[in-house]
């Protein structure tokens, strides 16, 4: 009887082990926050709202930093409240593509930001494009100060010179650096992260992270030391990016899997949860 009991226990233990490893194999893919999503509509969106939500679902994207040009797309997304999707809306300072070249000296963009802000749900301003000394404009300074006063993030697509000017306008600025400088040397990125505690790097189009599917040593080191300072993004600025959406996140997942679970989880979603103060749906 005792022996039988022993065998029984063994069998149960073996069954539990099988169950446990089965559960591990079937673990859902890491949930990811897309911190650079545009749902542009000029005059109409290429993908419907249902279609983009479907694209997010199949990629296990359960949160997005949402912007659109014009902001109508973000309004629609906020009104729709798609189930299982956390939306962090940012004010895009553009009505049409041409505004990218002129917004920083255009007083009507200030009015646009003020009008949008009245909606009460925005968490930031951007993505905006700014290069070099254009960042010195009085309007840019006014927008940076406004963001700091209202606890808004800035999502800036900029070179290093403009980045330093933005922080010079107001050192309390909290800036999500779109593309993390594209090609700024990783050692310099690390230095900037140390100098500016309000800086977070967003990694769409960022070069040098992996080569042949393998994380490069410089970026492994950067992610090991500063995993709390990065976000992932799709940057769906043109339709082609919607077509390659699955491939973009497949590539992210490939190198995330080469990091320990904790830093990988931070970059995938926990950093966004910490920055924007909410929990991503599972």
Given the rule CB under 5 A, which residues bind Zn ion? 127, 235, 237
Q: Which is nearer to Zn ion, 73 or 263 (CB)?
A: 73
Cis? peptide before 127, omega within 30° of 0: yes
Q: Which is nearer to Zn ion, 39 or 264 (CB)?
A: 39
- Beta strands 124-130 and 153-158 are parallel
DSSP 207-261: TTSEETTEE-HHHHHHHHH-GGGEEB-----SHHHHHTHHHHHHHHHHHHTTS-H
CB of 234 to Zn ion, least distance (A): 9
Judge whether 156 and 126 are in contact, CB under 8 Å. yes
Q: Which is nearer to Zn ion, 99 or 127 (CB)?
A: 127
In angstroms, the CA 256 to CA 23 distance is: 20
CB of 98 to Zn ion, least distance (A): 16
In angstroms, the CA 197 to CA 50 distance is: 38
Beta bridge partners of 157: 129
CB of 144 to Zn ion, least distance (A): 19
Q: Which is nearer to Zn ion, 128 or 223 (CB)?
A: 128
Q: How many CB atoms lie within 10 A of CB 149?
A: 10
In angstroms, the CA 282 to CA 208 distance is: 30
Q: Which is nearer to Zn ion, 116 or 235 (CB)?
A: 235
CB of 187 to Zn ion, least distance (A): 25
CB of 246 to Zn ion, least distance (A): 18
> What is the four-CA torsion angle of 34, 170, 125, 242, rounded to 10 degrees?
-40
CB of 95 to Zn ion, least distance (A): 16
Q: Which is nearer to Zn ion, 116 or 127 (CB)?
A: 127
């Amino acid at each position: 009887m005792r022996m039988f009991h022993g065998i029984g226990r063994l069998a149960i233990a073996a069954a539990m082990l099988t169950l446990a490893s089965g559960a591990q194999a079937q673990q859902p893919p890491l949930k990811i926050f897309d911190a650079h999503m545009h749902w542009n509509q000029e005059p109409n969106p290429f993908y419907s709202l249902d279609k983009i939500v479907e694209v997010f679902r199949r990629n296990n994207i359960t949160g997005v930093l949402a912007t659109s040009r014009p902001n109508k797309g973000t309004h629609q997304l906020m009104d729709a409240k798609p189930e299982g999707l956390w939306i962090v809306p940012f004010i895009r300072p553009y009505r049409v593509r041409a505004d990218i070249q002129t917004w920083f000296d255009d007083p009507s963009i200030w009015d646009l930001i003020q009008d949008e802000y009245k909606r009460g749900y925005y968490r930031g301003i951007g993505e905006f494009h700014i290069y070099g000394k254009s960042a010195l404009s009085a309007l840019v300074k006014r927008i940076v100060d406004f963001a700091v006063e209202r606890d808004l993030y800035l999502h800036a697509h900029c070179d290093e010179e403009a980045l330093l000017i933005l922080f010079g306008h107001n050192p309390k600025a909290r800036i999500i650096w779109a593309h993390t400088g594209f090609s700024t040397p990783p050692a310099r990125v690390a230095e900037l992260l140390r100098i500016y505690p309000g800086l977070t790097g967003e990694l769409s189009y960022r070069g040098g992270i992996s080569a042949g599917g393998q994380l490069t040593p410089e970026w492994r080191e950067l992610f090991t030391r500063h995993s709390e300072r990065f976000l992932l993004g799709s940057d769906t600025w043109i339709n082609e990016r919607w077509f390659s959406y699955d491939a973009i996140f497949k590539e992210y997942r490939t190198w995330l899997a080469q990091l320990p679970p904790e830093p990988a989880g931070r970059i995938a979603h926990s950093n966004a949860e910490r920055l924007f103060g909410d929990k991503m749906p599972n």
